[in-house]
Chain A
Amino acid sequence: QSVLTQPPSASGTPGQRVSISCSESSSDIESNYVHWYQQLPGMAPTLLIFKNSQRPSGVPARFSGSKSGTSASLAISGLQSEDEADYYCATWDDSLGAWVFGGGTKLTVL
């Protein structure tokens, strides 16, 4: 069974680069894509990164994703106050036949 682990919190100052990790105990990240979502306070989540590193149209280039082995990362460069949000990773769990989400990371812009 897939368990995606994210740090519960992260922080940075405006202009900084921050990174949020998403690691997995089994091999689903290794064999499947990782996707990232941003959830602004009180709003529905939005797709931020899909297939490990691709950005949907409209997502700024300062958001980037990567994956290596059983870990994935979301990086935000040139941090802005409006980036303060919750961030979730997700992948397909082959053994469950289900989508699984990480627990989410609350990003604070100091």
Chain B
Amino acid sequence: QVQLQQWGAGLLKPSETLSLSCAVSGGSFSDDYWSWIRQSPGKGLEWIGEINQSGSTNYNPSLKSRVALSLDTSKNQFSLNVSSVTAADTAVYYCARVVSVFGVVLQPFDSWGQGTLVTVAS
């Protein structure tokens, strides 16, 4: 069973860059997509974007201009950067796996990281 362990800075000032990483254990990147999802306090889930081993990415259009995803196969981890953060980016951020084979999604978000609360405040 794949396990995801995430980490990163939890307190940022407005205009700074949010950086989170997620380590994958118990499996490899294979054909899967690796996603980031966030949840503002008391709110629902918002998908941020995803990346696969080939470097192919998909982004939420509402965040695309500020988001960058990367993946390091040698370290078995993937990362999220969100630039120019504001208070509206305050949320719990989750990493998650989308199980895919030859580009066909089998099970979206079947494994999740533990979540990282990121607070943006001056």
Give the residue among B35, B46, B61 with the most A Cβ atoms within 10 A: B61
Determine whether A37 belongs to the interface, using a CB cutoff of 8 Å to chain B: yes
Determine whether A9 belongs to the interface, using a CB cutoff of 8 Å to chain B: no
The verdict on A45 contacting B105 (CB below 8 Å), with A101-B46, A102-B44 known, is: no
Instruction: Give the interface size bracket for B toward A.
Output: 20 to 34
Q: Which residues of A contact B44 (CB under 8 A)?
A: 88, 101-104
Determine whether B45 belongs to the interface, using a CB cutoff of 8 Å to chain A: yes
Determine whether B14 belongs to the interface, using a CB cutoff of 8 Å to chain A: no
Interface of chain A residues 37 through 87 with chain B (CB within 8 A): 37, 44-47, 50, 56
Closest 6 A/B residue pairs (Cβ): A44-B112, A99-B47, A101-B45, A104-B44, A47-B110, A50-B107
B contacts, CB < 8 Å to A: 35, 44-47, 50, 58-61, 94, 105-110, 112-115
